[in-house]
Structure 1
Amino acid sequence: MARKSAGRRSEAYEKYALEANRGTTYLATFCLIAKKYPEIDADRLLSDLIATTPGKEGKWFATAKTLKRFDLAMQLVWKSPCDPKTLIRAARDNIGRAPAFAADVALAALYWICLGKGYELTSLDVRAAYELANKAGNADGQSERVALRIQTMLQPTTREVRWVREMLNIPPSTGASSS
């Protein structure tokens, strides 16, 4: 009887759980399903949930970070847009205990800002991403790598990049034409 019940739970999970259980956030969705199906491994559950949102993988960043799956979190954040404010908070929260992660997260925030992603961003958000990337890069001994990544991000002459450069008081790149 127990095996039959377990088989039905597995079938219910595979057929219905991912679509029928949605929380108010992606993390809440994960927690809701994990509570209902404790027998499902957290990594499998997260992988299954990510697969349900093609093109929106970055939305699962906070869940992966909460599960301390930092490598996966970074893969997700570079795969599709993630809210820069979420990334800035994550960088700030991890700068002391995981500076390499914090640097990459702050760089990702700056990257998505340069692509025009995010809501109601201000100069404070731009400066926070920039300063956190540099601070974390210094703490991790990666200041040159971080500086080069930022320099590369700020090369395009798009409207968004020009705005970021202006917020950081960085003059237009030499040899680049304004459009």
Structure 2
Amino acid sequence: MKTKHKWTFAPRFRRQAFGWRSQPAIQRVEEAVAEIKAAARQDPVLAAEGAVLFLGKVSPALEQVDSSSGAIGSAVNYAIETLVPIIAKAPVDEATRSGWLDRLWKAVEEDDIPYIEMLPEYWGELCHTPDLASRWADELIHPVRITWSEDRKAGGGYFKGTSACMSALCSAGRYSEVLSLLDLAPYKFWHYRQWGFKALIAMGKRAEALRYAEESRGINEPVAAIAAACEEILLDSGLGEEAYQRYAIEANQKTTYLATFRAIAKKYPHKAASD
């Protein structure tokens, strides 16, 4: 009988394991990610199991950490971005993957702070196959419709699975349903409308995607993210000059003028500094 692997990080991430200081928690998160990445080089399935275990334990362990600086949140987001591909690419059967997804979904539902709120955005990738993604979309789409139904629009509603549903629909190739579902939303919120943008791109409707993104602008919407999406469409379409004129500054805004200049210069090497 195969001995169960003992992860070094596992006992360190018991519920409320950390105090208010963020640095010790950040260090442990980084160590856990490094341990899982090292395992992935030898045993991808074991590493994926470790990633699922970590993502299920991390939020309860960090409940008491002071997250006001954003540092611990950034560390967890980096962990999610790193571990999702390990889980998604692991060569396992559907039953194993379904079990992983059930465990991850339980973690999302119990994520009260929240620390792993980014995870649902990768749900389609985690499903790995269009069939599994489609089944998850079927599970999640009804609650989204209820949340955005007419009688809820006045006060609005929130469902943790909205991004997961959109992600799963896109991975399943159900692009028209993404757009029709977004039509029910009581407000234009780029966090969700980005999935409509991606759906239009996947359908080959780049001009419509550009208009869709522009129509998503609003007082509280992320200007840089929307501009970056529009810029990418134009660059991919060979319209570099138009991309430069319309979106270069908004899409590449950094914390200093020099950093902004360098970002633009890197993306548009044909432009002179005087431009």
TM-score, scaled to structure 1:
0.39
TM-score by length of 2: 0.29
Larger radius of gyration: 2
Greater relative contact order, per chain length (Cα 8 Å cut-off, separation 6+): 1
